[in-house]
Structure 1
C-alpha cells in the first residue's frame, strides 16, 4: 500500500516519512520571511513553526522559469525530491518549514553535493532564534546612512545638513524666481 523509494542504502516509506510537502501559497510566503542559506546550487528559506499541532519538517520546492525550459525544471524538481528523500534520515525532527529555490547548477551538480547542501541548509535555517537581536540586520532607518548622516531619513523641515540658518536655505528663500507675494516670510538673523 505505502509508496516506497530506494534512497541509496535505505528504503524510505513516503507515507510515514518525517518530511512532508509544503503545498499552500500562504506557507511559501510565510517561509520567505524566515532565515536564508545560499549555495551555488540552491537557496534555502526556512523558519520554525510555533504554536501549531503539525510536527515534523515540511519542504517546498521552487524552480523559476529563469532556470530553464519545462523539461529542465521538472528534472531539477525530481532531483531535489530525491535529495530530500536521501537526506531524510539525517535531517532534524523539528517543526519547521523549508523552501528550496533551485538554481541552474542543480541540474548537473553531483547528487552527493546536493545532499550535503541540503543538510547544511536545514541546519542553518532551523536554528532556534537567539535572545538578542544581533543576528538580524537593522531595519531601514535604524542603521547609519552610508552618506555620513545619522540615519537614512531626510532632515527635518526648516533645517538642512548645515543646520538652521544655512546659506543654502537663505538662497532658496530669496530666490528671484518666486514672485514677491508668495515668498515665505524671512526669519530674523
Structure 2
C-alpha cells in the first residue's frame, strides 16, 4: 500500500511532503518479540525513573540481528491495571521510544521499557520523554569503579 499523494494545486499545498506520511527515521526501531530477548535484557543494566523502568543490554556480535539496529520491547505487569490500562501505558511508551531512541539510543543495543503503576499512563508525554532521556544517559554512562568495603 502506498501513501496518498500530496496535492499539487490549491492554497493547502504549503510544503512538499505529504501530511499522511510518517517521518522516516535514519535508524528504525525493531521490536523485541522473543521471551529470550526480554530475559537477556533483564540480566543487563537497569535504570528506574518515575514513570518507567528501562533495561538495556549491548548485543553480542554473534546475534542474528543487524549490528546498527536499535531494538526495543515494552511490557506492563497486571499491577499497572486491567488490559485497557496496560495497553494505554504501552502505547505511550511506544510513542516516547519512537521520539527519543533514534537520537539518544545506541546502535547495537536492546532496550526494554517497563510501565509503572499509576505513573506511565498519566504522566505528561514531555516528562515521559525526559524520563527516558535521563535513563539512557545513566545507562550509557561509564561504570563507576567500585571501591572495596573495609
Shorter-chain TM-score category?
0.7 to 0.9
Structure 1 residues 124, 56: closer, same or farther in 2, change over 3 A?
farther
1:66 is the counterpart of 2:76? no
> Are the counterparts in 2 of residues 98 and 122 from structure 1 also a CA contact under 8 Å?
no
Matches within 5 A, 1:9-48: 11-13=22-24, 17-48=27-58
Q: Secondary structure at the match of 2:120?
A: helix
Aligned residues: 129
Alpha-carbon distance between aligned partners in 2 of 1:27 and 1:46, rounded to the nearest angstrom:
11
> Are the counterparts in 2 of residues 37 and 45 from structure 1 also a CA contact under 8 Å?
yes
1:81 is the counterpart of 2:94? yes
Superposition TM-score, scaled by structure 2 size: 0.73
> Are the counterparts in 1 of residues 50 and 131 from structure 2 also a CA contact under 8 Å?
no
Structure 1 residues 135, 92: closer, same or farther in 2, change over 3 A?
farther
Structure 1 residues 135, 117: closer, same or farther in 2, change over 3 A?
farther
Higher relative contact order (CA 8 A, sep 6+): 2
Deviation of 1:20 (Å): 1.2
Deviation of 1:123 (Å): 2.8
Alpha-carbon distance between aligned partners in 2 of 1:94 and 1:22, rounded to the nearest angstrom:
15
Superposition TM-score, scaled by structure 1 size: 0.59
Structure with the greater alpha carbon radius of gyration: 1
Alpha-carbon distance between aligned partners in 1 of 2:105 and 2:131, rounded to the nearest angstrom:
15
